[in-house]
Chains A and B, each alone.
Chain A
Amino acid sequence: MGALRTLFSREYTEKVAVDGISMALDAGELVGYIGPNGAGKSTTIKMLTGILTPTGGTIEVAGLIPYERRKANARNIGVVFGQRSQLYWDLPLRETFELLRAIYDIPGERYRKNLADFVELLEMGEFLSTPVRQLSLGQRMRGDFAAAMLHSPRIVYLDEPTIGLDVVAKEAIRQFVARINREQGATIILTTHDIADVERLCRRIVIIDKGTLIYDGTIERIKERYGSRRTLVVELCDAQPDFHVEGAELESREGNTIRIRFDRNAIGAEVLIRRVADAYGVNDVRIEEPELEAVIRRLYIESSAAGARA
């Protein structure tokens, strides 16, 4: 019955996709824009590119309001989607590049220079004349990157650009992004679920969830602020079934190796190590720093718990 009902009537529910995300980017910045699935990242990118009109608030990209001046804005920007290609499926890569040259009116000299640079950097020489449908994902992605940068855009939006790529291709793409940022001074917003992309490329990250901003700052600061938990790994001389130490909790135990978790703000590592060494025979100790990914995971979980309470 449900299926029949939807055949004749439709219900719409209104949902606020993004709300109160205020941020400003300086020219030449490379910012990681992250958040869980459905957080509103793509919605933000769509508004920035001018294909989505916001119901409220203001957006300005290089002095233009994107949804009012879609075409003028388009000349300033370059966009790469990891999940959809802008290359001509049936034609060789080279032909898409020529088409883009015509679309953006790229002067001959700059076109040739950019193309030569990109072919070298992204190692596209081998497959420049192959129809796009025959390219591997890694090759296609490199083609998409070159296509988006050919007109030397001042602003670049990358929407999950490394999704599904192998480590070598990922590295090639990351190097390329870093270089475009450094040498052409392009302002780049990088949306990704691969935290390694962000760690490798960005100083600043912006984290959103359920359409609201939950963090905007440097990577170091987020690690300091949210990553106060450390893990102390202790290798004991002999097995201690009833191991216990004040101020930390047991995380796991494997033979003589014990992992305990502590909060750096509550207890100093030095104090903790002394307590353990006083009570037990210790062979070795080591402290594990939190990874950015773990920090962000904690942030997502906290944010969704806060949402559930509200």
Chain B
Amino acid sequence: MRAYIAFAQKAFAREATYRFTIFAEIGSLVLRVYLLRSLWTALYAQNLAPADVPRHAMITYATVALLMSLILEVDGTRLIRDKLREGTIATDFMKPISLPLYFFSDGFGQTMLHALLVLPSLLLALLFVRIDVPSFTTLAAFAFTFALGYLVNFFLNFLMNAVAFWTLETFAIQLMVRWSSDLLSGQILPLVFFPGVLGKIVQALPFAAIYWTPLRIYIGELPQAQWGAAAATQCGWLGFFAAVSYLVWRLAERRVVVQGG
């Protein structure tokens, strides 16, 4: 256990050495919040936005989604890809550790550093964008479903990076999944904007478990009575992706063991 805590600590320290990236990230966030706010303000002024979501709820939604992306967009298992390309993964296999747990701890350490950035950004959002703050119960439910979404996102990310065991390069597939996920997870748009059957399909996809579920709780789109069911669906996806990840890892490990890293 101590080893995995140490992995997370070192990953945290490692990320902190790239100071410029961190400042650039905050800068880019401020810019994106500003752009989105202008965009939605303009859309509402032209009456182009759906009438059933008030303007301020929409801006809150977009801002909170951006804050979440600070944590969710960390490519925490990038390490797998890098190590495969450099061939250093062989030395990790020579250590008395579980590699999937190592990757998780490392990813978690990276995430924790980026999570720190959420604090100043949140302050900014509260002061200047004046996002809505819901009740404590809602916040707690949001935090819980967000944690589940984080795990679903982690496994999705892990699976994409694990593709490198077969292809070494994952750029194209990551771009594809990232774009679909941005749109289908509710990061850019609330999923209620998708009309009719399309909306039903999109809400049934696993991407919805990442942003949409916690966000709709935050903005009060989901009645409290349905919170449990929503979290259960997230857990279902979590179990599914964890199982697939386990299988993929077994295959990847075999591949290394047969081909020798």
Interface residues of A (CB under 8 A from B): 43, 46, 49-53, 67, 70-72, 74-75, 77, 79, 81, 84-86, 88, 90-91, 95, 98-99, 102-105, 131
20 A-B pairs whose Cβ atoms sit less than 8 Å apart in the complex? A46-B260, A49-B93, A51-B257, A51-B261, A52-B257, A52-B261, A71-B97, A79-B94, A88-B10, A88-B14, A90-B18, A91-B10, A91-B13, A91-B14, A99-B6, A102-B2, A102-B5, A103-B96, A105-B2, A131-B17
A90/B93 in contact, CB under 8 A: no
A102/B257 in contact, CB under 8 A: no
B258/A84 in contact, CB under 8 A: no
A43/B260 in contact, CB under 8 A: yes
CA distance A178 to B5 in the complex (A): 35
- Of B2, B91, B97, B98, the contact of A84 (CB 8 Å cutoff): B91
B173 at the binding interface (Cβ < 8 Å): no
A103/B93 in contact, CB under 8 A: no
In the complex, chain B residues whose CB is within 8 Å of the CB of A74:
94-97
Q: Which residue of A lies closest to B102 (CB)?
A: A103
Q: Among B5, B17, B94, find the residue whose CB has the most chain A CB atoms closer than 10 A.
A: B94
In the complex, chain B residues whose CB is within 8 Å of the CB of A51:
90, 93-94, 256-257, 260-261
In the complex, chain B residues whose CB is within 8 Å of the CB of A79:
91, 94
Minimal beta-carbon separation of B4 from chain A (angstroms): 8
Minimal beta-carbon separation of A168 from chain B (angstroms): 26
A99/B96 in contact, CB under 8 A: no
Q: Which of B226-261 contact A (CB under 8 A)?
A: 256-261
Q: Which residue of B lies closest to A81 (CB)?
A: B91
B10/A103 in contact, CB under 8 A: no
Majority SS at the chain B contact face: helix
B10/A70 in contact, CB under 8 A: no
A86/B6 in contact, CB under 8 A: no
B3 at the binding interface (Cβ < 8 Å): yes
In the complex, chain A residues whose CB is within 8 Å of the CB of B96:
71-72, 74-75, 103-104
Q: Which residue of A lies closest to B256 (CB)?
A: A51
In the complex, chain A residues whose CB is within 8 Å of the CB of B93:
49-51, 70
B88 at the binding interface (Cβ < 8 Å): yes
In the complex, chain B residues whose CB is within 8 Å of the CB of A85:
88
B52 at the binding interface (Cβ < 8 Å): no
B17/A67 in contact, CB under 8 A: no
B7 at the binding interface (Cβ < 8 Å): yes
B87 at the binding interface (Cβ < 8 Å): yes
In the complex, chain A residues whose CB is within 8 Å of the CB of B6:
98-99, 102-103
CA distance A46 to B86 in the complex (A): 17
CA distance A75 to B259 in the complex (A): 23
B97/A67 in contact, CB under 8 A: no
Interface residues of B (CB under 8 A from A): 2-3, 5-7, 10, 13-14, 17-18, 86-88, 90-91, 93-98, 256-261
Q: Which residue of A lies closest to B261 (CB)?
A: A51
Minimal beta-carbon separation of B23 from chain A (angstroms): 17
In the complex, chain A residues whose CB is within 8 Å of the CB of B18:
90
CA distance A85 to B90 in the complex (A): 11
Q: Which residue of A lies closest to B5 (CB)?
A: A102
Q: Among A52, A81, A105, find the residue whose CB has the most chain B CB atoms closer than 10 A.
A: A52
B10/A52 in contact, CB under 8 A: no
CA distance A77 to B93 in the complex (A): 12
10 interchain residue pairs of minimum CB distance: A102-B6, A74-B96, A52-B260, A51-B93, A102-B3, A86-B91, A71-B96, A103-B3, A102-B2, A90-B14
A53/B95 in contact, CB under 8 A: no
B10/A99 in contact, CB under 8 A: yes
In the complex, chain A residues whose CB is within 8 Å of the CB of B256:
51
Q: Which residue of B lies closest to A77 (CB)?
A: B94
In the complex, chain B residues whose CB is within 8 Å of the CB of A99:
3, 6-7, 10
CA distance A43 to B6 in the complex (A): 31
In the complex, chain A residues whose CB is within 8 Å of the CB of B98:
71
Q: Among A51, A53, A98, A104, find the residue whose CB has the most chain B CB atoms closer than 10 A.
A: A51
CA distance A99 to B6 in the complex (A): 6
CA distance A105 to B96 in the complex (A): 10
CA distance A51 to B94 in the complex (A): 7
Known interface pairs A99-B7, A105-B3; 7 further A-B residue pairs with C-beta atoms within 8 A, sorted by A's residue number: A46-B261, A52-B257, A52-B259, A86-B88, A91-B10, A95-B10, A103-B97
CA distance A49 to B95 in the complex (A): 9
CA distance A77 to B91 in the complex (A): 12
A84/B3 in contact, CB under 8 A: no
In the complex, chain B residues whose CB is within 8 Å of the CB of A90:
14, 17-18
Minimal beta-carbon separation of A211 from chain B (angstroms): 14
